[in-house]
């Protein structure tokens, strides 16, 4: 069971995908903020108390890789927010690059929304139960 | 010949009127077409906006509850096909299954045979994509002729529809299509062949001619064995190392590296001294993944290879060996008596790792 007021930032340029992810996460009782690219995502992260981030890799303006780097450059606690990267690209090098940049997990499309929720839950548990 | 000025004037006047009429007509026609397109777009957007919340309600309704979705009128079914296809690349698992059920329940698939033969390429492509996404097995036979379609993206989607079915009855036509493509495209098309799953590998072993007679398909075999990390193909990959064709041997090395079986080390190590540099380069990569600390002496030798790619892979191979390999690289980078090629590549690799905060 998710703690009350858990807030998730979904950064995704494809509106169809974003809507599906948002609907599924809202079903879990999470509050979801949507951004269409990394710049908007970073802006939202500054202004809201975000607990988890999911981001697409390929986006205009600022891609997911840059977004991960920018977030990790922020001071804690915002700089330590768990990040799940979602990409349609199964390139091994990209995965390594993103994980090395500080992403906590990586999923490739097509995704199962239930698996996504489970991974976010695990990430949340790891981060917040570790204190 | 001189025409009377009055006649010339009349011709000019009439010519101007006709031209003006034609231009006005064209402008009007363009405006009408634009107006119709705008109207269609507005209609499509309105439909999408109505279906989007309905789709999320449909996908995420409580388990055991009937899945509601509003009736899609016949005239909207073309738009609905495109609407649904926006989601199939995104969704997997239960949601993908629910999407398929919705697609079948609406009877959109009945028009597939007709659409596969449509004169417009995008319609044929859309039909092939739907067959792949929603696994419409009964239409697969009608997809095969599209492998000869003049439009490349239609053939690509047709091949994907056939491979994603996992039905090896279509392995032969797809393989022939892949082999008929340009070489530079073939490795990219490997992703398409992967759709058949690892079951394709025993099929290939059974159906391909010997590598000496027809080497090209065996390159694909090796690359597929690597990408599926198919351990059962290891014996065949080792046999391919003995085929005296560099492309086959390099592909087999690549696959053996992916399998990372230490027992194959004695077979891979001699190729580090092969006269063909692509083989030395692949061997360097493979040794780093399968060799363990025993591979360090040969990898150090390879860091002074005259070919940059071999030196680079040897340094990478050493880094892949973990602590022992990194220590050897550090020693090489700091040794003033070391071969300059070896020292430079060791420094380059260590700097690269340093920039990324890992080794």
Interchain pair B91, A16: CB under 8 A: no
A85-94, B25-34, B112-121, B279-288: which range is least confident on average?
A85-94
Contact (Cβ atoms closer than 8 angstroms) between residue B212 and residue B243? yes
Distance (Å, whole) CA B320 – CA B292: 9
For B85, name the nearest residue in chain A, comparing CA atoms only: A16
Contact (Cβ atoms closer than 8 angstroms) between residue A55 and residue A39? no
A70-74, B127-131, B146-150, B187-191: which range is least confident on average?
B187-191
What average pLDDT does range B159-188 have in this prediction?
A: 87
- pLDDT at position B245: 92
Interchain pair B94, A115: CB under 8 A: no
Interchain pair B357, A17: CB under 8 A: no
Percent of chain B having pLDDT more than 70?
96
Q: The whole model's pTM is what? A: 0.75
Options 3.40.50.300, 3.40.50.2300, 3.40.640.10, 1.10.510.10; CATH for A7-130 is 3.40.50.2300
Contacts of B92 in chain A (CB under 8 A): 109-112, 115
Contacts of B85 in chain A (CB under 8 A): none
What ipTM does this complex have? Answer: 0.78
Distance (Å, whole) CA A33 – CA A48: 9
| Domain segments of chain A as ranges | 7-130
Q: Rounded to the nearest 5°, which phi and psi values hold at A111?
A: -115, 150
Contacts of A109 in chain B (CB under 8 A): 89-90, 92
Instruction: Express each pLDDT in B194-228 by its tens digit.
Output: 999 999 999 999 999 999 888 889 999 999 999 99
- Greater model confidence, A62 or B299: B299
Instruction: Give yes or no for residue B126 having a pLDDT over 50.
Output: yes
Could you say which of B55, B91, B356 has the minimum Cβ distance to residue A110? B91
- pLDDT at position B190: 86
Q: Shortest Cα distance from B303 to chain A (angstroms)?
A: 23
Contacts of A12 in chain B (CB under 8 A): none
- pLDDT at position A131: 52
In CATH terms, the fold of domain B260-359 is 1.25.10
Instruction: Give yes or no for residue B341 having a pLDDT over 70.
Output: yes
């Amino acid at each position: 069971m998710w703690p009350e007021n858990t807030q998730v930032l979904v950064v995704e340029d494809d509106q169809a995908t974003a809507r599906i992810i948002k609907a599924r996460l809202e079903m879990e009782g999470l509050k979801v903020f949507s951004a269409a690219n990394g710049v908007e995502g970073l802006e939202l992260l500054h202004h809201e108390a975000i607990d988890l981030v999911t981001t697409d890799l390929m986006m205009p303006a600022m891609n997911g890789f840059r977004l991960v780097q920018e977030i990790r450059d922020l001071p804690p606690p915002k700089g330590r927010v768990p990040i799940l990267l979602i990409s349609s690209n199964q390139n091994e090098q990209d995965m390594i690059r993103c994980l090395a940049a500080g992403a906590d997990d990586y999923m490739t499309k097509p995704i199962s929304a239930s698996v996504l929720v489970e991974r976010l839950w695990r990430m949340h548990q790891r981060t917040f139960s570790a204190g | 010949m001189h025409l009377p000025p009055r006649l010339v004037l009349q011709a000019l006047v009439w010519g101007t009127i006709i031209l003006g009429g034609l231009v006005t007509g064209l402008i009007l026609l363009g405006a009408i077409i634009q107006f119709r397109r705008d109207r269609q777009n507005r209609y499509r957007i309105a439909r999408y906006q109505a279906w989007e919340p309905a789709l999320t309600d449909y996908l995420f309704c409580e388990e055991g509850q009937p899945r509601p979705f509003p009736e899609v009128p016949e005239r909207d079914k073309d738009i609905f096909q495109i609407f649904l296809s926006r989601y199939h690349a995104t969704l997997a698992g239960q949601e993908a299954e629910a999407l398929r059920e919705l697609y079948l329940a609406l009877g959109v698939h009945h028009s597939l045979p007709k659409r596969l033969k449509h004169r417009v390429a995008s319609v044929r492509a859309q039909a092939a994509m739907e067959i792949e996404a929603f696994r419409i097995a009964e239409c697969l036979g009608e997809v095969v002729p599209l492998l000869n379609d003049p439009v490349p993206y239609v053939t690509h989607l047709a091949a994907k529809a056939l491979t994603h079915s996992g039905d090896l009855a279509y392995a032969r036509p797809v393989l022939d299509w892949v082999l008929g493509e340009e070489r530079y495209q073939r490795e990219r098309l490997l992703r398409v062949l992967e759709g058949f799953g690892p079951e394709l590998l025993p099929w290939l072993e059974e159906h391909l001619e010997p590598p000496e007679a027809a080497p090209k398909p065996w390159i694909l075999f090796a690359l597929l064995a690597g990408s599926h990390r198919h351990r059962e193909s290891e014996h065949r990959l080792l046999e391919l190392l003995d085929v005296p064709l560099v492309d086959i041997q390099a592909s087999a090395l690549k696959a053996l590296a992916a399998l990372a079986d230490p027992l194959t080390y004695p077979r891979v190590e001699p190729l580090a001294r092969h006269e063909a540099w692509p083989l030395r380069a692949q061997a360097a990569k493979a040794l780093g993944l399968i060799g363990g600390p025993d591979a360090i002496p040969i990898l150090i030798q390879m860091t002074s290879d005259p070919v940059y790619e071999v030196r680079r892979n040897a340094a990478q191979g050493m880094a892949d060996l973990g602590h022992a390999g990194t220590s050897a690289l550090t020693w090489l980078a700091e040794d003033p008596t070391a071969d300059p090629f070896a020292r430079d590549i060791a420094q380059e690799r260590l700097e690269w790792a340093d920039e990324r905060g890992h080794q």
